[in-house]
Amino acid sequence: MRLVKNKYLQYLFVGVLFALPAILPGVPTALVTTSASMVYTAIAGLGINVLLGYSGQISLGHAAFMGLSAYLSAYLTKQMNLPFLLALVIAVLAPLLIGLVLGAIAVRLEGFYLAIATLGFGEILRQLFIEMDWFTGGFSGAAAAYPKVFGVQFTKNGTYLFMVALLVVLMMLVYNLVHSSTGRAMIAMKSSQSAAQAMGVNIFKYKLISFAISSVFAGLAGVCYVHFFRRADPTVWTSVLSLNLIALVVIGGAATVGGAVVGAVVMHGLPELLKAMPVIGEIPGVPLLIVGFLMIAILMFYPKGLINIPASIRQLAYKRRMRAAKEEA
Amino acid sequence: MVEFFQQVVGGIETGSMYALAAMGLVLIYQTAKIINFSQGTLGMFNAYVCTWFILNLKLNMFVAVPLAMVFSMALGAVIDHFLMSRKSITNLNREMITLALIMIFQGLAPMLFGANETSFSKFISASAMDLGGVKVLPNSLLIIGITFVIMAALFVVLEKTTLGIAVRATAANPETARLMGIPVKAVTMGAWAAATALGCLAAVMVAPLKNVTVSMMDTIHLNSFIASVLGGFSTFYGPVAAAFIIGIANNLLGYYVSSKWALPLLYALILVFIVLRPNGMFGKKTVKKV
């Protein structure tokens, strides 16, 4: 029983579940593609969860950070022939640096300034993606190859497994982070900034840390995207993607490590299910609508998020049992 | 010099649209203490509704636009009543509900009205007038005129009437305002209704330039946010003034520096300004108590 409760093993188990489509024979490749979408959004969502769930800050520009890393990695590996891992590090450092500068300005101010600063910044970046076609390929997009690590050329499934491994490692890292003093400071900050400040929490520092972490995760997700789908074009990195990242954190469960994963599965799984249905699958905009309604429903009636449903059910059952025991006594 | 004034007039026209949207943002922020991220999307949706009135009910433009504004007021009030007024929801979650509203209305618009772009005619289609070399469309004058009338009316209401005192008291402190007998709930609902109608008006004004599409309000939405930051969220008039400054500055930068880099340059300048004056041009520092 203790083994089941061990968080690291749980995350490993999640990883094994995700790896199944790539390992089992006879699985249609479309399933691997859908799962890959889940994995890269889950990686970005993990970062958003640190920012939104733990420190209560909204960012509307993380899609642009993802795009920046994706284009950088594609450019560095294809045009400059850098090895994949080096390109990955450089591609992730770029949003980190920009995130630190942008965050240092916006985070000093009230909460919503970060949302507005990232909204504006995201819009500028998206326009640059279209304009700078020597770097991004403009509207036609940039191409990239499956990664090659230490001489080993990954296949489609290999790239997917690499992403899954990355997700598992990141989940463990986030778990450690939120159970450290940094994580506790962030949680204190979310419930009351002034109170946290009075307790000696340096608000500016922790807000900036959480923003930096989320930028790095968005960058990693972008790199995963471009090397799995082997292309990136400006229609991907829109504000709708940034909104989706927030939505999946809310739906899955804010301030939980697994919430982003559950949210990503729901967000990409639901449209696939709907597409299979006869009439509803034909109407455009249905997935967006459903995610929106789901998000409102969660925010209004069950802000803990889908991931906490089992815990809530257990709690209810426990309460009922206690009441029954009391009546007997 | 003529070119300069040409750009300024153009800037005032786009600034009018930013100002209307920014006024809506600030009304909701002041009374309900949340940022309404769905302002632009709601405006877009209401522009679709207005187009529907014109195309399907064959209404005259001057009937359809006020009708669409009434519709958007009702929509705003409904959103406030059903989604915003629950006491158990934190303000952060309220802001996230407005984010969810973006998704819902961006999904609904193509579903209800079709995915095709619809053109939208100007209020006045007369050709440009020549004012000392500066060419001005009568339609632009109408847009600027409507905006100034609405702004003036709002300021009179806010500063001179009992209703305005209720709004300002709610903005200052909702708890105290309620103890003073001010119906805070009605005030926030009214703010939502007015803000949505202002967003609708801004969308209808930009519609002839960009056609009615899902993304028609993106620029206005973003610039109204930037205007509210630049002017300071804590005043009613700051964002409106900042909206005109942004509209004019954007045009001048585009004409004299580079049309491609005008907007990034402007945002960078504003960012520097915010570092120096975090509460905006006219803003006051608000001190929060634990």
- Please give the Cα distance from B132 to A123 (Å, whole number): 37
Q: A94: closest CA among A69, A77, A70, A118? A: A69
User: Sign of the C-alpha dihedral, residues A65, A66, A70, A73?
Assistant: positive
Half-sphere CA count of B230, side-chain side, radius 13 A: 28
CA angle B18, B21, B26 (to 5 degrees): 115
Domain parsing of chain A, residue ranges: 2-271+282-328
Q: What is the pLDDT of residue B290?
A: 44
CB contact under 8 A, A295 and B103: yes
Contact at CB, B290 and A192, closer than 8 angstroms: yes
Q: Are B202 and B20 in contact (CB under 8 A)?
A: yes
Residue A165 is predicted with a pLDDT of 92
Mutate to test the interface with A, among B96, B253, B265, B266 (most CBs of A within 10 A): B96
How deeply is A77 buried, as exposed, middle or buried, from its count of CB atoms within 10 A (0-12, 13-18, 19+)? buried
- Window 271-290 of A: residues touching B by CB (8 A cutoff) are 283-289
Of the options 2.60.40, 1.10.8, 3.10.50, 1.10.3470, the CATH number for the domain spanning A2-271+282-328: 1.10.3470
Question: Please, what is the average pLDDT of chain B?
Answer: 87
Over residues A134-144, the pLDDT tens digits come to 777 777 777 77
* A171 and A239 Cβ atoms separated by less than 8 Å: no
ipTM over 0.90: no
**A220 neighbors A42 (Cβ within 8 angstroms):** no
Q: Which domain holds residue B63?
A: 2-218
Of B92, B228, B264, the CB nearest to A124: B264
Query: Residue A15: enclosing H or E segment and its boundaries?
Result: helix A7-23
pLDDT of residue B279 exceeding 80, the answer is: no
Nearest CA of chain B to the CA of A242: how many Å? 10
**pLDDT tops 60 at residue B287:** no
**CA–CA separation, A212 vs A103, rounded Å?**
8
Distance CA A220, CA A46 (A): 11
C-beta contacts of A85-92 below 8 A and 24+ residues apart: A85/A149, A87/A223, A88/A220, A88/A223, A91/A219, A91/A222, A91/A223, A92/A216, A92/A219, A92/A220, A92/A223
Question: Is B104 close to A247, i.e. CB distance below 8 A?
Answer: no
What's the rounded Cα separation, in Å, for the pair B62 and B168? 32
Poorest-confidence range of A258-272, B33-47, B109-123? B109-123
| Cβ-nearest to A115 among B35, B109, B111 | B35
Token couple for A125: 């970046």
What's the pLDDT score for residue B97?
Answer: 92
* Shortest Cα–Cα distance, A299 to chain B (Å): 6
Nearest by CB: A291 against B92, B103, B226: B103
Whether B79 is covered by a domain: the verdict is: yes
**Binding-face residues of A in 84-123 toward B, CB within 8 A:** 105, 108-109, 111-113, 115-117, 119-121, 123
Give the pLDDT confidence score for residue A1 in this predicted structure.
53
Cα A201 from chain centre: 26
- What SS3 state is found at B57? coil
Q: 3-state class of B189 per DSSP?
A: helix
Q: Which pair of tokens denotes residue B123?
A: 């209020």
Alpha carbon distance A237, A244 (integer Å): 11
Assigned domain for B245 exists: no
Residue B14 has pLDDT above 50, yes or no: yes
- pLDDT computed for residue A219 by the predictor: 93
The C-alpha angle B96, A211, A11, rounded to 5 degrees, equals 85
Q: Which of B18, B103, B214, B269 best tests the A interface by mutation, with the highest count of A CBs <10 A? A: B103
What is the phi-psi region of residue A131: left when phi exceeds 0, alpha when psi lies from -120 to 50, beta otherwise? alpha
**What is the pTM (predicted TM-score) of this model?**
0.88
Q: What is the pLDDT of residues B16-32, one digit of tens each?
A: 999 999 999 999 998 88
A203 — contact with chain B (CB < 8 Å)?
Answer: no
Task: State the average pLDDT over residues B156-185.
Answer: 89
Nearest to A217 by CA among A249, A239, A190: A249
Cα(A243)–Cα(B214) distance, integer angstroms: 15
Distance, CA of A275 to CA of A278 (rounded, Å): 8
Query: 């997935």: which residue's tokens?
Result: A287
| A244/chain B closest Cα distance in angstroms | 9
Burial zone of B29 (CB within 10 Å; 0-12 exposed, 13-18 middle, 19+ buried): buried
A56 and chain B in contact, CB less than 8 A: yes
Closest alpha carbon within chain A to B270: A117
CB–CB of B222 and A286 under 8 A? no
- What is the tally of structural domains in chain B? 1
CA–CA separation, B189 and A27 (whole Å): 53
Give me the residue from A60, A292, A296 closest to B107, CB to CB: A292
Q: For the range B76-79, what are the long-range contacts, defined as Cβ-Cβ under 8 Å and sequence gap of 24 or more?
A: B76/B42, B76/B192, B76/B193, B76/B194, B76/B195, B76/B196, B76/B197, B77/B189, B77/B190, B77/B192, B77/B193, B79/B192, B79/B196
Instruction: Return the pLDDT at B22.
Output: 93
Q: Which residue of chain A comes nearest to B289, CA vs CA? A: A194
pLDDT at B289 over 70: no
- Positions in chain A whose pLDDT score sits under 50: none
Q: State the Cα–Cα distance between residues A41 and A224, nearest whole angstrom.
A: 10
| Residues B188-213 pLDDT 10s | 999 999 999 999 999 998 888 888 88
Please answer whether residues A165 and A172 qualify as being in contact, where contact means their C-beta atoms are separated by less than 8 angstroms: no
Q: Do A299 and B108 touch (CB under 8 A)?
A: no
B85 touches chain A (CB under 8 A): no
**A-chain residues near B289 (CB < 8 A):** 194
Q: Is residue B234 part of a domain?
A: no
Question: pLDDT class for B101, splitting at 50, 70, 90?
Answer: very high
Residue B226 near chain A (CB below 8 Å): yes
- Picking from A302, A273, A307, the residue whose alpha carbon sits closest to that of residue A290 is A273
Partners of residue B85 in chain A, C-beta under 8 Å: none
Rg of chain B on CA atoms, in Å: 19
pLDDT of residue A3: 61
Helix ranges (DSSP H) in A107-237: 111-131, 133-136, 156-178, 181-191, 193-198, 203-229
> Which chain B residues contact residue A250 at CB under 8 A?
96
Which alpha helices (H) appear in B39-120, and where do they start and end?
A: 39-56, 61-79, 91-113
In a domain? residue B275: no
- CB-based contact A181:A8 (threshold 8 Å): no
Is A144 in contact with A227 (CB distance < 8 Å)?
Answer: yes
Burial degree of A177 (CB within 10 A; 0-12, 13-18, 19+): middle
pLDDT digit string, tens, across residues B248-260: 998 898 888 877 7
